[in-house]
Structure 1
Amino acid sequence: MQTMDFVLILLAIVVTWRLLCLRYQRTHIALLGRHLASLQLERHMETLTQGYTRAIHEKDEARQLQVLDTFAPTERAVATQIQSLADAMQQENTQATRMGVLPFCVPHIEQFLPASTRDFRTLLHIHAAGLRRVVDNKDCWTPKDRAYHLSAELYLFQHSCHWFCKSRAVADARLMLRHQVQHQKALEAVSAETRAAYLRWLQNGDAQ
């Protein structure tokens, strides 16, 4: 009987914890969704990631460059819209934009363990600056290399959004499921400036 009581209590704790996580995650999803509603980021990102894959598989180099060149307007739109998202999210209060660095979701961690959280607003500005740098080709990459690095910037940005909405572990899993890319590989493939700023944010909080 005591064993059965223990199992029931444990089950109740697990169910309660899960419900708290879902409710907490819904607030983050709603917050980000409200700012994304007026943008077309998801559609633009899908166009670029699928288009880059198609271009890279072109055997003729001239044709490859031609295909890559057609994405210039979409690239500029993505960079502009991510900057708009970062600016809009800056108006939200700090408590609403904190995200836990632990692999799993801990509801309201920003209230009782703030040292284990980071500010999503700062991360968005890192992504916005990184996308703009690659779109403007500040590092003078070849079109193919530029597409490779820009894809990584987009993957990392998408990972951050999933992390904010769900958890770090879920973001890792979704990145692998959707793009067959590990988080570490995406981080290694972004520009050196994005990677350095991202690691400072992760290690030191809100440092950019």
Structure 2
Amino acid sequence: MDIVLTLLAAALVGQVVRARYQRARILLLGSHLASLQLERHMETLTQGYARAIREPSEARQLQILETFAQAERAVAAQAQTLARSMGKESRQATAMGTFAVCIPYLERLLPSATRDFRALLAIHAAGFQYVAENTEGWDPKQRAYHLSAELYLFQHSCHWYCKSRLVADARLQVRHQVSREKVLDSVSALTRSAYRRWLNGGTAG
């Protein structure tokens, strides 16, 4: 009986510690997003792309998609601002665990099992800019497809940093009915290669 009570107490303490740890991260990221309109622009694009796809006429689809060029550039610019802003935070505050579940203060216990969220944000910012500038010369539908994937991967990264990779995977599947692997296959080659280097512990550049 004592063992059961001890285990229950330990589990409860663990839940409290994890909740406080995650809340601190949510507040930190939120403080950097507060002065930006990044989330609003992302919502505009996500909803706008979905509306365009529902149009039966391809000509109408392209017409709608072309109206989002300004919002696409705004997302790219705001992501750059967020990356620069978060870049001023410490490595310890921006470390995120590579394990599926959240292990509070892993950056202190096992730094080698963490990755730098600041570097990941820089990857996302560069990816948004690359697609928005349309260096590849994609048509509006192709650009929207790749930018949607960039948006989904960015959201996944934020959820991973604030909660855990397991939670981020679940939210991506529930909200967009897609896996992280599929999203990673759909972003630009620039983002995909940089993301994989980051994930493997290499440099983002």
Rounded Cα–Cα distance in structure 1 between residues aligned with 2:110 and 2:145? 37
Post-superposition Cα deviations, 1:33-89, rounded to whole Å, max 9, x if no partner, equal 000000111111111111111112212122111100111111111110000000011
* In structure 2, distance between residues paired with 1:66 and 1:137: 17
Q: CA RMSD in A?
A: 1.0
1:113 aligns with 2:110: yes
Aligned position for 1:188: 185
2:40 is the alignment partner of 1:40: no
Quick one: which amino acid aligns to residue 159 of structure 1? H
Preserved contact between residue 75 and residue 135 of structure 1 (Cα < 8 Å): yes
* Aligned counterpart in structure 2 of residue 102 of structure 1, from 79, 99, 104: 99
CA change 1:206–1:167 in 2 (3 A) is farther
* Structure 2: distance between partners of 1:21 and 1:116: 17
Would the alpha carbon gap of residues 23 and 205 (structure 1) be closer, same or farther in structure 2, given more than 3 Å must change?
Answer: farther
Which residue of structure 1 aligns with residue 62 of structure 2? 65
The residue type equivalent to 1:188 in the other structure is: D
Listed as ranges, the gaps of 5+ residues in structure 1 are none
Aligned to 1:169: 166
- Between the aligned partners of 1:142 and 1:101, the Cα distance in structure 2 is 36
Identity of aligned residues (%): 64
* Unaligned segments of structure 2, at least 5 residues: none
State the number of aligned residues.
205
Provide TM-score, normalisation by structure 2.
Answer: 0.97
Structure 1, residues 97-147: CA drift from partner, whole Å, max 9, x if none?
100010000010000100000000000000000010001111111211110
4+ aligned runs moved over 2 Å, structure 1: 205-208
**2:120, 2:204 within 8 Å by CA — same for their partners in 1?**
no
In the aligned structure 2, how far is the partner of 1:84 from the partner of 1:43?
15
Q: Is the 8 A contact 1:110 1:117 kept in 2?
A: yes
